[in-house]
Structure 1
């Protein structure tokens, strides 16, 4: 979830509710699911981050903090239980064609697209294909990684 506002205007509740959903929620799910993965000696933890978690964004200190924290979770999981055939990675989408981006004014959407080397927003299917691949046996040796799906927006992160 997002509750965007500048840091100096952000209430504790706005910060905490985003952290509770986007970070604490992930912790709770991952803690439970890894128990069965350990029993099976196999698992794929795939966390959906965001380019905002890697680059930061004015007015999104709460959201950015939660998405960047997913990198630490994935890498800690990799170090803790990676030897049990369990991988943990973060897929970090940039701008995606969704209802949220469709609600942007055409002028603002054009501004965002102009900052993306690919010159467009990704489709949800493009993100899904990366998730499917990172869950497959083809990616069994990849763990603790951040995989951007952002058209080059965050090159170098």
Structure 2
């Protein structure tokens, strides 16, 4: 054998010995995927109803249990800000249902959401103790009722 190959072999054996000492076997378990949530870039503002509707995607990762979305929405306007809080119901994270789309209608605390830039804080909660959060900018587009 050439000396270079011997050193590669020795290095590989040392790595295998270290992995065995630490209890790591080839193909050892990989960390479970974490839950994720995202918010769509656009939502709708229903001015007469004083509410906004936004949506996005979620993935449960390895979590299983009752799941829902909490949404805080904030929009800067000339006279201050409009805020609101709402829920998106998605049911449960099960082996058959691990990802999907969500929507939530958020009533304004005071005033009315308008078309324009807005910030959403969305949380994916999987009971009993999993919480994933994202803060994302989006744009509300005024909703026009059809007659």
Identify whether the pair has TM-score above 0.5, normalized to the shorter chain: no
What is the TM-score of this pair, normalised by structure 2?
Answer: 0.27
Looking at secondary structure, tell me which structure has more strand per residue: 2
Looking at secondary structure, tell me which structure has more helix per residue: 1
What is the TM-score of this pair, normalised by structure 1?
Answer: 0.26
